[in-house]
Structure 1
Amino acid sequence: MISLLRRREVFAAALALGASAAFAGAPRRASNRWREARARFPQGVASGDPGPDSVILWTRRAPRGAETAATILLEVADDRDFVHTIVSRSVRVGPDADWTARVLVAGLRPSRRYWYRFTDDLGEGSRIGRTCTAPRPDADTAAAFAFVSCQNANLGPLTPWRRMIADDVATDPADQLGFVLHLGDFVYDTMWYPEDRATYFDRTTRGILRYPDGERHDDFHVPTSLADYRALYRAYLLDIDLQDARARWPFVAIWDNGEFSNDGWQGLQRFGPTTTPAQTRKVAANQAWFEYIPSHARTRDGSLTAFAPPKVENRPITQFDRAGLGLEPNNLTAIHSLVGFRPFRWGRHVELLLTDQRSYRSEDYTAHPAAKGLASKRFPQLVPFETLEAIDAGHAAEGGAPAVLMTGDGPIENFRRDAEPRTLLGDEQKAWFLDRLGRSTATWKIWGNTVATLDMRADPQHLPAGLTVPWPGKGYAGFARTDHSTCYAERSEIYDFVASRRIAGFVTLSGDRHSFWAGYAAKALPPARFRPVGIAFVTGSISSPGVAEAFEHNFPKEHPLRALYQVDGKDRPTPETSVNLLLRHGVRTCLDYAAHGDLARAKAVADPGVAPHVQFVDMAGHGYGVVRAAAERIEIEFVCTARPVVPTQAPDGGPLRYRVVHGADRWAGGDAPVLKRAALIGNAELSA
């Protein structure tokens, strides 16, 4: 039984988490009133952020008629049949939290599986959920978990979840996944209605939702109220594959941009060239996330049962600090109404450090009207590296900020000449992250970053004369991303910290890019000194369309550089994704492969300096990643499914494109890691 002191600690934790508290007791037989009625609990069940002796459990019980509140019974057992029930707790639900319930269950045993269910006063019950507790922090236990991101149910079915479940069921119980790390875009605020846009690339738009309020921009709709954000989660959680996953594993989650606003930052929204204050929407988005995602994200209010939204108004933000944080009081209140960055420990070998790249970041440089000049028709997607570096540095550029920036189509004004260096983390969060990283005792210190860190680089300076106009840059090119791959100063600060502290086992897991990447964490690439301080991975999307799909539909067939992005063939219904070769091996490999179709020959003419940091890239990949981490080695498997365009009835989610595993042995602090491909099943030849 839990001690009185421990009860007080857990009760205080529940207060901080906005959760009801329940305590495990002696086993007893469960109530026999429960009968499964999934229609009464239409969004299923879930669990989140397991500790060695606790986990947060969740459900939503839909209202019956005109009732204004209801009481449901939570039962937790250490067996699937509820013969040994260790928790029986009544929980109130009502409209104040959209009929959701979250309960912090404590007094559990470490490294154990538990089953749970909810029952209302008429005996109608939820499905049965399965969860687990984490190992003790000092336990010499291997970790196995999945990492995912970007599930757009408006544009495709979420079938990779079904593959994950099928694989896990077929795995020895001792090696099954312990939890799922969700790196954001759990939902997408941008919603296309079928009558406004019937198709999106290969996809048929799915009419999963009509916002009760909402507003329209161009051909899409966005939420404007708490009712809208709640409706968004309810719609997504009707997906049976997502429901099944949440019922099988505890999730450890952090948001990205889709949970608030596609081009949102802090308490602001941007649609096209217009940025507007949206503090009320930020609070509404945070409240809906809190209500539907069980987690240890921190509220400011202290409610036991619900998120108490602070009162804010949409006020213009005119003053910013050195790191670009808007100092307007409503903005600060909205941002801090829910704080998501936090640590998560799984035994001796894994500590996750989750960070939020949207709430504290400085303004996206693409918001400036002059940034449109970065888009080049002559050299699609490519921007001279020195231009991207100057944009990031602002007034602090080495040697002084240039007055003009070179692009693929010619010079433009340096619109960030007087700006501060960019940040995605902000000062407060970055200080927390570096402090926690420096103090971590885990074998593997894993940065759960919602956006990618690996550079997207190409070598247009090696294009043959006469194919197109000469490349105007000084050397290599980058892609104009807004993630940590172009946030050079902040990324360098983090990597320099890792190097100076001689931190071993530094690993980054990311999403957002809708593609699979495996490689090295390095602050600089050739011709500068290349010195990795860690390894980094990006998972493909669950269902969201990516760059390769966009190229298939939009890249001009007559463009002289088409071979760098797409390779057409008579026997293929869709082009091959040669942009993978561009990002891994360079322009010569792309052109040779397009001319001869001999991949080995094409790789023989690769530029070894273009991407020494990349071991694998697939810009057409969908699916998820699996991490297996032990005392001496870490391995990351990418499971790439077929493009999720139409629903499948296959019990395993349908065919796979490939599985690929990369691994690294533990390295000493100050040494460079060595990442190698351990296995490949299927066809990913253009990716390696």
Structure 2
Amino acid sequence: MLDRRRLLGRAAALAAMQFLAGGMRARPAQSRVRTTVDPFALGVASGEPTADGFVLWTRIAGMTEDRTVGYEIAEDAGFRRIVRHGRALSPAARGGAVHLEVRGLEPGRPYFYRFHFGEAVSRTGTVATIAPAPERLRLALTSCQHWEHGWFSAYRDMIAAGVEAVLQVGDYIYERSFGAGPNVRSFGAGDPQTLEDYRARHALYRSDPDLAAAHAAMPFLVSWDDHEVENDYLADRAGYTADPQAFVRRRAAAYRAYFEHMPLRPSALRPGGEVRLYRSTSWGDLAAAHILDTRQYRTPSACIAEGETAGGPIARCARAGEDVGSMLGPAQEAWFARTVAERPVRWSLVTQQTLFARLALPEGPNSLYPQFWDGYAAARTRMLDALEAANTRNAVILGGDVHSFWINDVKRDFARSDSAAVATEIVTSCLASHNGPEALFGPAPALNPHVRFLNNTHAGYVLLDIRRDRIEGMLRAVSDLADSQATCRELRTFTIEDRRPGALL
């Protein structure tokens, strides 16, 4: 596994160095189309790795009619050993986005890929198929990247670390400015409302060289939170758009643009505009990432009185004890229960968007933040029931959203200090944004004994080394969000041992 990781690291470094180099190289002589701008300016990406394939992505912006692009997949960076080549559709109706689902490759090995359009050749990307029985796995957990608040330099650290897949759990883009700054750059446009607006916002993000390099170097397994549409929305209920019909149109545009810019399977886009993001990726019997969507199907919380919104902390749950409200919706809850039962693995990574454990607040013992799972206590219990019914060996809840690092014990009864941990929660900080509210989070360790570690002063990501007998994790902190050449350092390490819920610090 070590040799394979080194090979992946070298391949990733090669992809990272080719941000601009691959854009306009000459194609073989039979090509006739000439371009005046780089058609691959939005880069390349991969996702959805399996034992015999993956999804490859690019987007030819500005397409007014359906075209095709050529592709090559090779065993070597020089493309001397090409194992697959052909043409893929770049449909104008999807903004020129290509979602190429590749199957039938050898398991457990890295591949190199590139696209052709006319005389232009894209940069080279790298992606690996999953080994049948991996002994080790290195993942990165990331969330919350605000374009204006900081540079995306943490992705360089992931590439250097030889990360094998990135779990991006939401707020990939932001729809609006937040706070008074300081900002390192500007959106240069107002809040997106239409499909073209959201396409432009995603394209702006893909112009960041570190994000573009990361997509070329590593597969991304993605799900969204709220800022991909608008802050604090749920299902078809707006966060701040006053007109309900205007919000539904805005959400449809945002969903479509998200699909067009992510390395998702073509089947993820469903009739009616649904983008089916809940799914599971397994690395043999070592680990599975059960990727959840806590926005699209979320129902109103039982803790919010009729006619009110969940904009901040509340003193107590309005209908405490009522089994209403779901973060996932009934269909996704049923899928999760079925999937964890059908896919027994050593490490079950429940990959969702926000804070899962109980969070008692300074306002009083019954206070809570209803946007978190505290607003959906019955749904949280159902998730733990599903994990218990499946006899899950090791449940690790992964999240983001709160712009701070957390390591928590997940308990059946958070009110009892002697209640045993049944799972471990790891929450990543923002990759690039302002940290969470100190008045809200600062007192958390004193009020919540199950909070084992909290850092609300650094941005960064979580590095996870998964082995059969343990997970070795590291919280990686960015040195300076205002420095485009910033580095990351070790903030805290932790270990989760096999069959022992709760992190060792």
TM-fit CA distance, 1:41 = 1.1
Structure 1 counterpart of 2:145, one-letter code: Q
Deviations 1:535-555 (A, max 9, x none): 11100111122224xx5xxxx
TM-fit CA distance, 1:277 = 6.1
| Unmatched segments (≥5 aa) in structure 1 | 1-29, 169-175, 193-199, 211-220, 302-309, 311-332, 376-380, 397-419, 461-470, 552-564, 566-577, 587-609, 678-688
Partner Cα distance (1:188, 1:368) in 2: 28
What does 1:64-75 correspond to in 2, within 5 Å? Answer: 68-75=65-72
TM-fit CA distance, 1:42 = 1.0
The correspondence for 1:142, drawn from 112, 136, 140, is 136
The correspondence for 2:123, drawn from 104, 124, 127, is 127
Kindly indicate whether residue 505 of structure 2 is the aligned counterpart of residue 673 of structure 1. Answer: no
* Pair 1:345–1:70, CA change in 2 (3 A): same
**Alignment match, 1:583:** 444
The correspondence for 2:432, drawn from 515, 533, 543, is 543
The correspondence for 1:157, drawn from 127, 138, 151, is 151
Partner Cα distance (2:269, 2:477) in 1: 40
**Alignment match, 1:492:** 381
Partner Cα distance (1:642, 1:46) in 2: 27
The correspondence for 1:339, drawn from 276, 283, 292, is 276
TM-fit CA distance, 1:481 = 4.1
SS at match of 1:436: helix
SS at match of 2:501: coil
Does the 8 Å contact 1:47/1:57 carry over to 2? yes
* Pair 1:427–1:120, CA change in 2 (3 A): same
Structure 2 counterpart of 1:126, one-letter code: S
Does the 8 Å contact 1:543/1:622 carry over to 2? yes
The correspondence for 1:233, drawn from 202, 212, 215, is 202
TM-fit CA distance, 1:647 = 3.7
SS at match of 2:289: strand
Deviations 1:83-107 (A, max 9, x none): 1111221234242221222211222
Kindly indicate whether residue 186 of structure 2 is the aligned counterpart of residue 186 of structure 1. Answer: no
The correspondence for 1:628, drawn from 451, 461, 465, is 465
Partner Cα distance (2:338, 2:424) in 1: 20
Does the 8 Å contact 1:273/1:369 carry over to 2? no
The correspondence for 1:204, drawn from 159, 163, 183, is 183
TM-fit CA distance, 1:245 = 0.4
Partner Cα distance (2:390, 2:40) in 1: 50
SS at match of 1:660: strand
* Pair 1:37–1:662, CA change in 2 (3 A): farther
* Pair 1:505–1:354, CA change in 2 (3 A): same
**Alignment match, 1:115:** 112
Partner Cα distance (1:185, 1:38) in 2: 30
Partner Cα distance (1:622, 1:391) in 2: 36
SS at match of 1:130: strand
| Unmatched segments (≥5 aa) in structure 2 | 1-25
Kindly indicate whether residue 404 of structure 2 is the aligned counterpart of residue 515 of structure 1. Answer: yes
Structure 1 counterpart of 2:287, one-letter code: V
**Alignment match, 1:53:** 52
What does 1:62-461 correspond to in 2, within 5 Å? Answer: 62-63=61-62, 68-122=65-119, 124-136=120-132, 139-166=133-160, 168=161, 176-191=162-177, 200-204=179-183, 206-210=185-189, 221-271=190-240, 278-296=247-265, 298-299=267-268, 333-334=272-273, 337-363=274-300, 384=315, 387-388=316-317, 390-391=318-319, 393=321, 396=322, 421-458=324-361
TM-fit CA distance, 1:643 = 4.6
**After TM superposition, which residue ranges in structure 1, 4 or more long, deviate above 4 angstroms?**
30-38, 272-277, 364-372
Deviations 1:171-194 (A, max 9, x none): xxxxx32111110111122257xx
Partner Cα distance (2:355, 2:234) in 1: 17
Please provide the CA RMSD for this pair. Answer: 3.0
Structure 1 counterpart of 2:192, one-letter code: P
Kindly indicate whether residue 500 of structure 2 is the aligned counterpart of residue 663 of structure 1. Answer: no
Using the size of structure 1 for normalisation, the TM-score is 0.64
Structure 1 counterpart of 2:414, one-letter code: L
Does the 8 Å contact 1:455/1:478 carry over to 2? no
SS at match of 2:373: coil
SS at match of 1:536: strand
Partner Cα distance (1:110, 1:38) in 2: 37
Identity of aligned residues (%): 25
Using the size of structure 2 for normalisation, the TM-score is 0.86
